[in-house]
Amino acid sequence: MDPKAKKILMNAFWTPGGWRAGGAFYTEDEFLYAKSKGVMFDPLTCSHDECVRKIKELHERHITKEKAVRTFLHSLSTRKVYLRSALSTYALTRDLPIHTYAQRPAEQPGYSACGDCNDSRLLADEHYTGKDLNVLNFERIKWGGVRLNWLVYCLMDLEFLAKTEELEVTGEDITILRQMFEAVEACGDKDAARQLEKRWKDVFPSNKYERDVVLEIWGYAGLLQSQDDYRKERGRGTDFMSMATWRGEDGYSRELAEYYFGEYL
């Protein structure tokens, strides 16, 4: 990633005091430079149906499970957090069929009025007009992503993954992965996501916000699945999405752990 372009994007949204007041700020020259390096983008205007077709094409031509897994694993020791959501994006979109927004309305919309997107836990609108991808990429680079299950985020993330070179998985990455699963197994039955996040503190280089994102990634990938979605959420109810009702007694999905990471465990 071009360092200057990255700095432009970071400064556009973030200051030493947090989010920039009044919204993003950057000059035209800065935007054009960052855009030329593939870090910033023009506003996105497209339909849900176009997004779905592009996602399907990316999976058919460029994306494999193995590449998504290696990209995630490579991020663990390198702390290249922007690579991490490749895993959840792959999981959320791998079985998404070609469909139109109104083809099969959701019976009980939880994520989208589109039935297929709703079933895949994807937040999707029928049309996108002037959608700001820059803030989504800012969040991806700073923390590893925030709006991980947004249809347009998944499209953007898959496009990045398609352009990513094949990355090396080191012994350190594998050790970290195994220790992450060991930390899940060490959780008490009533431990929630926050307790697991703390157990991961010394497992891989990260801060609290980055570990929160990895928890969400594992949640959306199905590795950490709540067995009771009607449990009371811990905290403010806004700390986690996919991990809101997970507890230590749920453990992790050994089937999906084998599916994604079998050769590394």
Do 49 and 158 sit in the same domain of this protein?
A: yes
% of the chain with per-residue pLDDT over 90: 91
Pairing of strands 18-19, 14-15: antiparallel
Residue with tokens 């997004």: 51
Do 63 and 119 sit in the same domain of this protein?
A: yes
Distance CA 127, CA 235 (A): 34
Do 135 and 154 sit in the same domain of this protein?
A: yes
Do 159 and 189 sit in the same domain of this protein?
A: no
Do 98 and 193 sit in the same domain of this protein?
A: no
Distance CA 27, CA 32 (A): 9
Do 159 and 175 sit in the same domain of this protein?
A: no
Residue 208 confidence (pLDDT) above 50: yes
Distance CA 28, CA 181 (A): 46
Q: Point out the domain boundary residue: 120, 145, 163.
A: 163
Q: Which residues form the domain of 16?
A: 3-36
Under the banding of pLDDT at 50, 70 and 90, the label for residue 237 is very low
Q: Point out the domain boundary residue: 136, 163, 190.
A: 163
Predicted confidence (pLDDT) per residue in 99-149, tens digit: 999 999 998 888 999 999 999 999 999 999 999 999 999 999 999 999 999
Do 31 and 77 sit in the same domain of this protein?
A: no
Do 61 and 88 sit in the same domain of this protein?
A: yes
Do 49 and 150 sit in the same domain of this protein?
A: yes
Do 116 and 185 sit in the same domain of this protein?
A: no
Do 31 and 86 sit in the same domain of this protein?
A: no
So what's the pLDDT on residue 234?
Answer: 55
Do 27 and 95 sit in the same domain of this protein?
A: no
Q: Point out the domain boundary residue: 163, 191, 219.
A: 163
Q: Is 159 exposed, middle or buried (CB count within 10 Å of its CB: 0-12, 13-18, 19+)?
A: middle
Distance CA 258, CA 74 (A): 18
So what's the pLDDT on residue 239?
Answer: 76
100 residue type, one letter: T
Stated pTM of the model: 0.94
So what's the pLDDT on residue 195?
Answer: 95
Report how many domains make up the chain: 3
Distance CA 81, CA 73 (A): 11
Residue 233 confidence (pLDDT) above 80: no
